[in-house]
Amino acid sequence: VSDFPEMPNVCFVKTCRHQTGKNVRKGLRFFSLPEKEPRRTAWLRCAGRGHDIENLPLIPCFCAEHFEPTAFRKDDLRRSRLRSDAVPTLLLPVADETDDPPPKRQKVVTQASATGLPAPCEAEMTLRDCTAETNIPAVVPPVPVADVPAQSHPPESAFSTCSSGVPYECTSPVPSNMPDSDATYSPSHSEDYERIEHGASAPPPPPEEERQFLVFESCLRELFKTCQECSRLCQTTIETTGTLITVYSICPVEHVRTWKSQPIVNGRPAGNILLTSHLVFSGVKIAPTLRMLRHMNVQVISDSSFYEHRKAFALPAIHKVWLQEQQELLNELQNKEVDISADGRFDSPGFCAKYLTYTVHVEQINKILHSVQVQLKESEQAMASVNMEKEGLLKQLQFFKEKGIKIRSLVTDRHPATRKHMKTHEPGIDHFFDIWHISKSVKKKLTAASKRAGCQDLQIWIQTATNHMYWSARAAGGDEKLLIDIWLSMHNHVINKHSGHEGTYGRCLHGDMPEPTRPWMDPNSQAYNQFKSITGNKLLLKDLAQMSPHGQTYALEAFHSVLIDFAPKSQAFSPEGMLAKTRLAILHFNENSNRCQAVTREGKPRWSVVTSKARKGHHTARPEITDPTYKYVGKLIKEAMESSKQWRSLAAASRANTVVFPAPMTAAYTRPPKEELVAARMSRFGHSPQ
């Protein structure tokens, strides 16, 4: 049982329809007037009773319809407790009504005469959830009695869009001293009041930071069903401009209202810019995504409009943000010697590639510093796909020289042209080969040999040979002679001979061998001869001497896995589109290259079991990495919006951000008119198709 007096169901707001206590909706909550200043005075001013402070009722109350959803506590789903700084903001009297004193004489309307009044205005109940119009005062002018029939209760349909479904109860009694835990209690600090005063006039957040919602047309029309000024039914028209929705409503007495669903940025709907930018920056396929939205009847921009916005704002934003990040990395590497790895990636499988993306990864910072795009036949040195990788390397070396960064070592694959150029023209750079590429080649040859007759024993030693190659490079520490001796000692190890090896590596370091987990090879078998022939090949030993003892290209292989999400090899792209997608993938890779291992709730490292297809069902434990982040997208969106504010015309923005690329290969040929090709077209059966 409450110790406080029962709170009346009468609203203290001057223009509220509940100020008489009649026809109060069941379950509507009421909140008592705060006792502490300056919040108390702020509530009185909002109610239009600032002049009537001396003649307050016993328990002044405000109904819940005058408070925005944000005024309630987040953890209170029933909306029964207000925040400590809550102030009524909805459906309040206009300025002239709040400032003028009440009239000395007021006309008393009896119940009989009230039956001719118009129905209670439901516009505020329909619009209370519309964020664009929540602060508009709901003041209904007098309407002739004969025009609108009377209603003692509003229809059920009027409450269907605004009722929360939770019954309202009066849970805010007025004690003499409110405790600090009370939702309506506010400490008496002047800064709280100042924050409230500026909150109503604070500018809205930028369009890219606002939340967006999926709204159905029927629900949207429900908001504009009645006139906000006279509560009559309105005729509503909806027009679309891309993602922008413009609603025009007019009532029988010609009260016109226009409402737009999104802000306008320099004459363009913000949603068109944001949709284009997010489609580009997320790396999704454009056509299927737009088609999916159209299947849902979601209003989107056309394909041509998308590509115009992309060229004008999205692609320049990618280039600008990437160049800024690249400059920061260059400043970090100034006056330092770096160890880099480089590798190329063709845009399509086979020998029909059009572009080569040649990328450089810096080991010291574990990030990609630069990437160049080589187009087939862009120069005399890139007339074939086999020559494009060397052209990419030359561009990368020139970039480092121009930026004044000294290269100490370079790790690449075993491309013959790369090896020759580094040996002839760059003797001051230590050139190493990536172990993974060499071990992959050896493993492939051993696997093929194990399928021959009498060579089945090779199968169980293939993975051992691969592991031994990695260990040899690490144990040698850059000593080429020692590396070769360690590698060739495996010829004795597989036949159970662990000492007396040739060269500087005289014996195995594993100590006494326990019971063997696999059978030893027979030194006189065909399998052993094949093993020695493959692992002791002279060309292989020459490449082993250049194996990298430290950095590898696995970081670039990981980047290629990221790049294929942004630029699949099964899809063709324009030169500018391919360059933008590559730089977008670099931004994503650099931001997430140093993620740590995820942990459980107990703080233990998280692991996952991976089954290798290449190793025929071999199971390994792999550490689970924390989820990737996408902070770079915020930078890109901000840059795209700033560019939109700068350029009034899409064409002017596109011309100002044009990047020059080599001419396409088809430019060297004359294109005949389409009419001639159609007339000359023949089917496989020798006659012209109809």
State the Cα–Cα distance between residues 494 and 288, nearest whole angstrom: 55
Per-residue pLDDT at 28 exceeds 60: yes
Name, of 115-129, 194-208, 573-587, the range with top average pLDDT: 573-587
> In whole numbers, what is the pLDDT of the chain averaged over residues?
81
Q: What is the DSSP string of 517-582?
A: SSPPPPTTSHHHHHHHHHHT-HHHHHHHTTB-SS--SHHHHHHHHHHHHHS-TTS---HHHHHHHH
Burial 508-533 (b: 16+ CB within 10 A, else e): beeeeeeeeeeeebeeeeebbebbbe
Lowest mean pLDDT among 42-46, 209-213, 572-576: 42-46
Backbone phi, then psi, for 382, in 5-degree steps? Answer: -125, 45
In the predicted model, is pLDDT for residue 192 greater than 50? Answer: no
pLDDT above 60: residue 111: no
**CA distances from residue 235 to 119, 241, 253, 299 in whole angstroms, order as listed:** 19, 20, 11, 22
Q: 30: which DSSP letter? A: E
Residue 412: pLDDT over 90: yes
Three-point CA angle 514, 519, 524, nearest 5°: 125
Share of the chain above pLDDT 70, in %: 80
Mean pLDDT over residues 412-424, rounded? Answer: 92
Residue 33 has pLDDT above 90, yes or no: no
Rg (CA), the chain: 38
Q: Do residues 660 and 670 touch, judged by C-beta distance below 8 A?
A: no
Which pLDDT does position 80 carry in this prediction? 73
User: What is the distance between the alpha carbons of residues 88 and 71, in angstroms, rounded to a whole number?
Assistant: 8
Strands 355-362, 337-346: pairing kind: antiparallel
> Tokens at residue 165, please?
């479904």
pLDDT digit string, tens, across residues 241-285: 999 999 999 999 889 999 999 999 999 999 999 999 999 999 999
Question: What's residue 136's pLDDT?
Answer: 39
* Bridge pairing between strands 337-346 and 430-433: unpaired
Question: Is the predicted pLDDT of residue 40 greater than 90, yes or no?
Answer: no
- Categorize the per-residue pLDDT at 500 as very low, low, confident or very high, splitting at 50, 70 and 90: confident
Q: Which has the minimum average pLDDT: 20-34, 51-65, 345-359, 654-668?
A: 51-65
> Which of the 8 DSSP states describes residue 473?
H
- Report pLDDT for 50: 63
Q: For 379-410, write each residue's pLDDT tens digit.
A: 888 888 888 999 999 999 999 999 999 999 99
pLDDT above 60: residue 595: yes
Q: 118-145 pLDDT, tens per residue? A: 444 433 333 333 333 333 344 434 433 3
Q: What distance in Å separates the CA atoms of residue 312 and residue 600, rounded to the nearest whole number?
A: 45
Residue 337 reports pLDDT greater than 90:
yes
Q: Give the three-class secondary structure for 684.
A: coil
Q: Give the pLDDT confidence of 508-547 residue by residue, as tens digits.
A: 888 777 777 788 899 899 999 999 999 999 999 999 988 9
Does residue 174 carry a pLDDT above 60? no
**pLDDT at residue 397 in the model:** 95
